[in-house]
Amino acid sequence: MLKAILILPFNVLISIPLLILYFSGFETIEIKNIFLLFLMFMLFVSGLILMIWTMKLFARVGKGSPAPWNPINKLITTGPYAYVRNPMLLGVFLFLGGECLMFQSWALFYYLLFFIGVNLVYFPLSEEKELYKRYGNEYLEYKRNVPRFLPRLTPYQSTKN
């Protein structure tokens, strides 16, 4: 699990944004707008909570990690997965949004848009097909009832007992 955390989220959330800031000529700024500070804080906190919660579910319920080399062996439909099919990535999007506000960087914002776009293409073309192969009709029912990135208002209840 530590390897998955170091390689995937660390690079997406820390290494790449730092490189973008470095090469875009970033200069530190002071955020004085209390609303922006509050929004930034909420994006960071909600993103971190979602990422940590989903990693714990991956380890405890799915007996795996978010990394392709250690996939989960059970479809997780509880916790944040009852509301959205990919809460881990939603957490990453929120955290990156917090970074955009914290550094007030257009370059980071473009990176966020690029990252969202890549995942909007990748998931239907690759990961969702793999999940269907692994979990069959259970995944199809889940997919029909739970949105990919925008959470539903009520938790999904599987018809499987």
Number of other residues whose CB lies within 10 A of the CB of residue 46: 16
pLDDT of residue 5: 56
Task: Report pTM.
Answer: 0.88
Number of other residues whose CB lies within 10 A of the CB of residue 143: 16
Taking phi over 0 as left and psi of -120 to 50 as alpha, with beta for the rest, 71 belongs to beta
- The percentage of the chain sitting over the pLDDT mark of 90, rounded to a whole number, equals 63
pLDDT at 125 over 90: yes
Asked whether the beta carbons of 55 and 65 are under 8 A apart, the reply is yes
What value does the mean pLDDT take over residues 30-50?
91
Asked whether the beta carbons of 127 and 48 are under 8 A apart, the reply is no
Lowest mean pLDDT among 4-13, 46-55, 118-127, 152-161: 4-13
Lowest mean pLDDT among 50-54, 90-94, 146-150, 155-159: 155-159
Side-chain-facing half-sphere of 159: CA atoms under 13 Å: 8
What value does the mean pLDDT take over residues 49-55?
92
pLDDT of residue 98: 95
What value does the mean pLDDT take over residues 42-46?
97
Averaged pLDDT score across all residues of the chain: 88
pLDDT of residue 160: 67
